[in-house]
Amino acid sequence: MTELNSAIPDAAGADVSDNETMNAALGRAAREASLTHARMGRSVPVGRDGGVVWVTPAEIFARYGLDEFGRPKG
């Protein structure tokens, strides 16, 4: 029988029991999902101050330092 707290490798072989690794992976996934929706012109719901608010594509792009079309500013 395996121990519940033992390290479980993911598909790429990384140790997913490491909180820092997991948080970084979740952050990248959330960023990519948000940007995908924004590029399709869709707002996304987020939890803010104990409630749910809709974040517009423009707000999503601004959050990641992109222009209104989702391209790097510059």
Q: Could you tell me if residue 2 is inside a domain?
A: no
Per-residue pLDDT at 1: 47
Residue 59 in any domain: the answer is yes
36 falls within a domain: yes
pTM score, whole prediction: 0.69
Residue 56 lies in a domain: yes
Per residue, what are the HEC states of the chain?
CCCCCCCCECCCCCECCCHHHHHHHHHHHHHHHHHHHHHCCCCEEEEECCEEEEECHHHHHHHCCECCCCCECC
Question: Is 9 among the domain residues?
Answer: no
| Residue 69 included in any domain | no
Domain presence at residue 5: no
In a domain, 42, yes or no: yes
- Which residue range is the domain that position 38 belongs to? 19-63
| pLDDT tens-digit readout, 19-71 | 888 999 999 999 999 999 999 999 999 999 999 999 999 999 999 999 988 89
For the chain, what is the domain count? 1
